[in-house]
Amino acid sequence: MNVLRRVLRWFFGFVVVGLAAASMWFWFTPVGINNYVNKITIQLALGSPQALTQVGIIDDTLLDFHSGKLDDQTIEHEKKMLARLRDARAGLDDYGPEGLQGQELLTWKITAWFLDDLIRQGEFEHSGYRVNQISGVTVDTPQFLTDGHVIKSPRSARRYLSRLTEFGRVLREAKVRVEDDRANGVVPPDFVISQTLLGMRSFIEGGAEKNALVTTLPEKLAKVDGLDEAERAEIVTKARELVQREVIPGYQAMIALFEDMQRTANHDAGIWRLPQGEAIYAAALKSSTTTDLDADQVHALGLSEVSRIEKEMLAILDAQGITGETLAARIQALNTREDQVFPNDEPGRAAMLAYLKAVDARVMAVAPKFFATIPPQPLEIVRVPVYSQDSSPGGYYNAPALDGSRPGRFYINQKNNADNPKFTLPTLMVHEGSPGHHFQLSAAQLIEGVPLLRKVFPFGAYAEGWALYAERLAKTDMGIYDSDPLGDLGRLQAEMFRAARLVVDTGLHAKRWSREQAIEYMVAKTGMTEAEVTREVERYVVWPGQATSYKVGQLAILRMRERAERALGPRFDIKAFHEVLLMNGGMPLEVLDGTVDEWISRSASSKSAP
């Protein structure tokens, strides 16, 4: 059932429409499918104080009853949420699909798939590792408190202190759940435990005085009107006391539990090692790919794509005179070439950020030729917080808030700049920024006349498939690599990385590969550093199936485009095609496939593609 929590938290992480606006929509929209889906979305959001803060609108208003609280981690709460999901799914059948058409029918299909998927995963009570090196309360809650809780008034500052007290309760509840998982045969592999311990120890190293929950506070308080210097100092002192009294003991207790589990943990990597492991992975694959592909099919697809991409990479390496005995050796030689490595110091980090901004400017200069809708929300390019860089991926994106309090942000991990060679950065920027996740998630906020769910839930295969499609678009259509063959090599390396993920994820969880076998395969096929690959493989271990969404989604979108181009010939309009993909919001691939077919049919029957 911890998978249910993860997916719901991911869902709520994309909630960008205010509860007030949603509530008004609920009351003033005529009764129907949209109204019903809005209602159940609001009901689910009300179960998460942190989700309501992520809304970005209602904190510090008359509607704010939540911003001093954190989410409930108990089994009783999760069972209550699962019951709500089942009730919501049963109620959906009262609104369709009979009698619906157009956007309303699309809404019913998307919502039915979404609820069925959450229920299917939520039925596994012990389905993974609740606290691990990349997620869980010891990782997610500090980032939420430092990044998600906006301090803009004396009241929101006091609510922050309340949440620090709440953090102690959250850690205690999560510890009970980890102990229950352990009693039911769910103990992380030894290497996951080691990395999780590393992160927890690092977070409390230096005590409350040096803890990020305290050190990030003075700068925020300095911008708050209505607080004098003495009041600001008092709040910082209180925060330090709360971290010392509530947070650090909670981490120490969790560390002691993980140290105890480490004594008997084994080294097996795949989810097959857990009770019901095969069924858990099958459900995870279905959720991540939004298809019925099984593990053998995904594995074979990955092997085929790896073979194709490898040939294209070797052709560029040959043309650039980059030699070596193996593909990995040649890429690794390029990785360390002086002109490809930003210095690992503050000037080097600043230079990397400037380079990424220049790449984004090039993309945005040509974007209007390929997109009818250019999202107006700003995009910031910033460093991953130091306290979370040890377990973070190379880069990731967070969507903007509707009220403008939080822009879209691309986070680049600058713990070691050598992990992100220059030739790899353009594609990373395109994937996480424009026209990748930033376009896709920002555009969803602009959709009118659809329920909240259609605006806020991206569906993994759709969202990651779009971002990987955007990488290909930058090459084949936008011309971003026309004078940058090494950048194109970086694009292919990134695509190889996603293809190898199909092989490795299914290898780990269905074919019983070891952690070391997965690392060796990915290093050989991608040429990435062992440190990078190790972080990735260990992420796949604790998040089964998610890594398969990228390539499965990209290939599905490419097939849709090829089908449209064949059917429409000279009438094919790339801007209109992208409008269909982006301006309907996220959806399962099987639903998107039908939506594109309907657009093709309409376009073929009209004088020109809309």
Percent of the chain topping pLDDT 90: 79
Q: Which residue has the higher pLDDT, 445 or 594?
A: 594
Q: How confident is the model at residue 403 (pLDDT cuts 50, 70, 90)?
A: low
How long a stretch of residues is the chain?
610
Q: Are 100 and 26 in contact (CB under 8 A)?
A: no
pLDDT for 28 beyond 50: no
CA distance 508 to 537: 9
* pLDDT tens by residue, 90-125: 999 999 999 999 899 999 999 999 999 999 999 999
Bridge-based pairing of strands 408-412 and 395-398 is antiparallel
| Average pLDDT taken over every residue of the chain | 91
Q: Tell me the pTM.
A: 0.86
Number of H helices, E strands in the chain: 27, 3
Grouping H, G, I as helix, E, B as strand and the rest as coil, residue 133 is: coil
Which is it for strands 379-383 and 408-412: parallel, antiparallel or unpaired? parallel
Q: Encode pLDDT of 120-143 as tens digits.
A: 999 999 999 999 999 999 999 999
From the CB of residue 373, how many other CB atoms can be counted at a distance below 10 Å? 15
pLDDT tens-place string over residues 475-487: 999 999 999 999 9
Predicted local distance difference test score (pLDDT) of residue 57: 64
In tens, the pLDDT along 553-577 reads 999 999 999 999 999 999 999 999 9
Task: Please give the C-alpha separations between residue 454 and each of 11, 69, 98, 417, 467, in angstroms, as whole numbers.
Answer: 11, 27, 20, 38, 18
CA distance 523 to 90: 47
Please determine, for residue 320, whether its predicted confidence score (pLDDT) is greater than 70. yes
Q: 201-230 pLDDT, tens per residue?
A: 999 999 999 999 999 999 999 999 999 999
Give how far Cα 216 sits from Cα of 210, 211, 600, Å: 10, 8, 52
Choose between 340 and 22: higher pLDDT.
340
3-state secondary structure of 555: helix
Reduce the DSSP state of residue 607 to 3 states and report it: coil
* Whether residue 13 has pLDDT greater than 90: no
Q: Cβ distance 149 to 162 under 8 Å?
A: no
Return the pLDDT at 290. 96
For residue 513, the model assigns a pLDDT of 98
pLDDT in the model for residue 419: 86
Of 333, 338, 500, 488, whose CA–CA distance to 424 is shortest? 488
Rounded (10°) CA dihedral 412, 417, 422, 425: -20
State pLDDT tens for residues 274-317.
Answer: 999 999 999 999 999 999 999 999 999 999 999 999 999 999 99
| Per-residue model confidence as pLDDT tens digits over 589-598 | 999 999 999 9
- Residue 20: pLDDT above 70? no
Lowest mean pLDDT among 399-413, 420-434, 520-534, 575-589: 399-413
| pLDDT at site 15 | 41
Give the burial string for 389-404 (b: 16+ CB within 10 Å, else e): ebbbebbebbbbbbee
C-alpha closest to that of 502 among 281, 303, 287: 303
pLDDT tens, position by position, 240-249: 999 999 999 9
163: tokens are 């949440």
pLDDT tens, residue by residue, 345-398: 999 999 999 999 999 999 999 999 999 999 899 999 999 888 777 767 788 888
| Token couple for 510 | 């269905």
**Residue 2: its pLDDT value, please?**
54
Amino acid 18: pLDDT? 38
Q: What is the pLDDT of residue 402?
A: 64
Strand order from edge to edge, sheet including 379-383: 379-383, 408-412, 395-398
pLDDT at 19: 38
**Pairwise CA distance, residues 504 & 534, whole Å:** 12
Give the model's pLDDT for residue 192.
97
In sequence order, which residues have a C-beta less than 8 Å from that of residue 233 and are 6 or more positions away? none
Residue 586: strand, helix, or coil: coil
Q: Cis omega before residue 435 (within 30°)? A: yes
Mean pLDDT of 55-73: 84
What is the distance between the alpha carbons of residues 268 and 328, in angstroms, rounded to a whole number?
Answer: 26
Q: How confident is the model at residue 609 (pLDDT cuts 50, 70, 90)?
A: very low
DSSP state of 411: E
Q: What is the pLDDT of residue 22?
A: 41
Cα angle 103-581-381, degrees, rounded to a multiple of 5: 125
Average pLDDT over residues 256-263: 98
Residues 6+ apart with CB under 8 A from 527: 327, 328, 329, 330, 331, 332, 334, 335, 493
pLDDT tens digits for range 487-539 = 999 999 999 999 999 999 999 999 999 999 999 999 999 888 888 899 899 99
Q: For residue 178, what pLDDT is reported?
A: 98
- In this prediction, residue 385 carries a pLDDT of 83
Q: Tell me what pLDDT residue 478 has.
A: 97
